[in-house]
Amino acid sequence: MAARLDIVLGRIEQLALDAVVNAANRHLLPGAGVDGALRRAAGPELTRLTETLQPLAPGEAIITPGFDAPAKHIIHVAAPMWFADGGEDDKIAELAACYRSAIATAHAHGLATIGFPCLGTGIYGWPAESACDIAIENVRAALTQAHNINRVVFCCFLQSDADLYAARLN
C-alpha cells in the first residue's frame, strides 16, 4: 500500500506522529523557527543530547527521542541556505538529500508516520514553490524504498504553503 501524503496547516511541534523532522542547523545548536519550537516542546533533554552529537553533513539525518514532544522521535536535517555561496544544482541536491535521508532514517527505525516542515523556506530563504517541488518529488522517490511508512504529513505553518502543497499534490 502506498503511503498517504497529507497536508496539515499547523505547528509541527504539536503533531503526534512517530517522527517529525527538525529544520536544524549543521551544528545542532538551538535555533529559532521550527528548531526552537521543537526544542520547547521536547524540553531541555533534547538540547542536552544534541550538544553531544557531531555536526551534520549536508543532507545527513540523525534521529533523537522526542522527549516531551508529542512525536516519539525527532529527525534532524540541515537544509542548505538558498542565498549562500555555491551552485544552485548543489543546493537543490542537498535539500533533496534532506528529504531522502529523513525518510530512510524513519524506515531504518521501523517508523510508520513522519511529518515534515517546509524545509528551508524560513530564514534559509528558499523560494516556496521550488522547495515544495523538491519536497514532494523526493519524498515520493524515497518512499519506494520505505514500505513501512504509511503516512507522510507536510506540516505547513502558513496557509499559502498549504495551498501550494495542495495544488502540487493534486
Residue 35 among the catalytic residues: yes
Strands 61-65 and 73-77: antiparallel
CA dihedral 39, 4, 77, 88 (to 10 degrees): -130
Distance CA 95, CA 8 (A): 21
Instruction: Give the up-direction half-sphere exposure of residue 135: CA atoms within 13 A in the CB hemisphere.
Output: 31
CA neighbours closer than 13 Å in the CB half-sphere of residue 138: 23
Which one is catalytic: 18, 35, 85, 90?
35
Answer yes or no: are the C-beta atoms of 168 and 20 closer than 8 Å.
no
Given a contact cutoff of 8 angstroms between Cβ atoms, the answer to whether 149 and 113 are in contact is yes
Q: Are 65 and 53 in contact (CB under 8 A)?
A: no
Q: How far is the first Cα of the chain from the last one, in angstroms, to the nearest whole number?
A: 19
Catalytic site positions: 35
